[in-house]
Amino acid sequence: MEKMFWVSFIFFFLYFGQSFCQNVSRPNIVMVMSDAFDGRLSFDPGSKVVELPYINYLRQLGSTFLNAYTNSPICCPSRAAMWSGQFVHLTQSWNNYKCLETNATTWMDLLEKNGYLTKMMGKLDFTSGSHSVRYC
């Protein structure tokens, strides 16, 4: 009987314990990606070339990657790699014609599975076919 109690207790803890240990407030994740954007305009801390108050506001509150690299110089393969978290040779997206399949798992899907509310807007272009512009 005691053994059954401990087995039940362990099962209960393993099943429900995760919700007891989770932090109630999770950090917000906001990813702003712009391409063909000259970094000298806003991301150099001392730059006064052009005043971009909203981008500077985001830069001050978040993280800025001043030494970032892409695994492909081509638009769609680079986006497919970023959204999937895989290298180009794994996505097999070699040019702007073939990108990810529409049902491919992205890091946004993984965030949704873990309880985050996600929203994608703008020119995404990580799936095969025509341009994907989403507004809502």
Comparing C-alpha atoms, which of 66, 42, 35, 68 is closest to residue 56? 42
Is residue 85 a contact partner of residue 110, using CB atoms and an 8 Å limit? no
- Give the residue numbers annotated as catalytic, written as ranges: 75
- Cα–Cα distance, 134 to 118 (Å, whole number): 13
Q: Which amino acid is at 100?
A: L
- Please identify which residue in the block is written with the tokens 């040779």: 89
Q: Which H/E stretch holds residue 11?
A: helix 2-21
